[in-house]
Amino acid sequence: KETVVSGIRSTGKLHLGNYYGAVKNFVQMQNDYNCYFFIADLHSLTTHPTPADLHGNIKHVLVEYLASGIDPENSTIYIQSDVPEIAELYLYLNMNAYMGELERSTSFKDKVRANPDNVNAGLLTYPVLMAADILIHKATKVPVGKDQEQHLEMARTFGNRFNRLYNTEYFPEPYAFTYSDKLVKVPGLDGKGKMGKSEGEANAVYLSDDPETIRKKVMKAVSDGGPTEENQPKPEPIQNLFDLMKVVSSTDTLAHFEDLYNKMQIRYGDFKKQLAEDMIITTAPMRERILDIAKDDAYLRQVAKHGALKARESAQKTIKEVRSLIGFKSF
Ligand code: TYM
């Protein structure tokens, strides 16, 4: 079986972007692959270092993984900081990662632009830690959303560079994976770009949002006065709502509203109502499970412990072999 690795940063509750870009694929992949799904708490320290929030944020991701249907008996679910071998591999890979290539990463440039007062080395070397996450289990498939594509390219670069330097074929090449025809980018509700945790509460629909909250958010989503001629191309905020409908609703529903738009008969109120109801249908069962699982700390402790053991077993094997390739020997 091929090995799969993916993770989500512990920076808050999961939204529909995380679900359709990543977690939905995780759930489907666990039957066909040897899967490792983790909570990227070390990565979250680059932007979310507040000690009082850390544990709660880790818990959100753990609970929501389980509530989405990831089976801890089938997949290895673990917390990144429970596996120190990842940090060790990160150190080795850092010796071969160049400033220039790290500075050119678009996510680094975005972070610098968003927060010029906190350009820490962890942000710069973020893609190296991500490569370590993937290479530690020698994974070949990485289910992620569109925004992570460049990071996967960098993971291949670092793995290949290690192989060249030590004259080995040790690390296989990891590729971004999705079951849909292309990597998913779920737009937000603000009319501008992707759904994200940092773009403001109203921009994202969370798996744990109750039906009323979802209806309110969707009804307030940015739209416009409606098409002014037939078969008009859609302006960005409208296209975004259609893209959202494409991920949450049936193809018939989407085709119905496309048709109304093209005939200039669309009423955005009805369109949004339908979109909200379809979001509620997908999220409602998960929301119930989130509320239940979050109460069961004993179960969560057991899942995290079991996952850490399994992940460390795989990671320790890799680190032992990597140390030997690098040339460390015992006296
Ligand atoms: P993060 O925590 O930002 O997001 C987690 C996953 O959700 C996907 N995603 C989206 N997909 C589609 N549309 C959106 N609007 C959207 N927003 C988020 C992301 O693509 C991602 O798959 N660097 C990673 C975490 C990470 C990782 C790894 C992933 C660390 N190490 C190793 C895979 C393998 C990140 O910041 O994801």
Asked whether this complex has an ipTM greater than 0.90, the answer is yes
Flag whether the pTM goes above 0.80. yes
Structure tokens at 170: 């040790």
CA 43 to chain centre: 12
Q: In what helix (H) or strand (E) does residue 208 lie, and over which residues does it extend?
A: none
Asked whether 226 and 257 are in contact (CB, 8 A), the reply is no
Best residue for ligand 1 mutational test, from 144, 180, 182, 195 (most atoms within 8 Å of Cβ)? 144
Coil, helix or strand for 142? strand
Give me the tens of pLDDT residue by residue for the chain, a chain 331 residues long: 999 999 999 999 999 999 999 999 999 999 999 999 999 999 999 999 999 999 999 999 999 999 999 999 999 999 999 999 999 999 999 999 999 999 999 999 999 999 999 999 999 999 999 999 999 999 999 999 999 999 999 999 999 999 999 999 999 999 999 999 999 999 999 998 899 977 777 899 999 999 999 999 999 999 999 999 999 999 999 999 999 999 999 999 999 999 999 999 999 999 999 999 999 999 999 999 999 999 999 999 999 999 999 999 999 999 999 999 999 999 9
**Gap between the Cα atoms of 106 and 117, Å rounded:** 18
Catalytic residue among 111, 138, 141, 217: 111
Residue 13 CB–ligand 1 contact under 6 Å: no
Question: Which of 4, 5, 21, 71 has its CA nearest to residue 196?
Answer: 21
User: Residue length, the chain?
Assistant: 331
Residue 147 CB–ligand 1 contact under 6 Å: yes
Distance 166 CA to ligand 1 centre (A): 30
- In order of their start, the domains of the chain are 3-185+297-326 (3.40.50.620), 208-291 (1.10.240.10)
Asked whether 80 and 43 are in contact (CB, 8 A), the reply is yes
Q: Is there a catalytic annotation at residue 197?
A: yes
Using alpha carbons only, give the angle 39, 282, 34 rounded to the nearest 5 degrees: 40
Residue in this structure with the two tokens 């709502």, named with its chain if needed: 241
**Gap between the Cα atoms of 210 and 201, Å rounded:** 14
Distance 313 CA to ligand 1 centre (A): 25
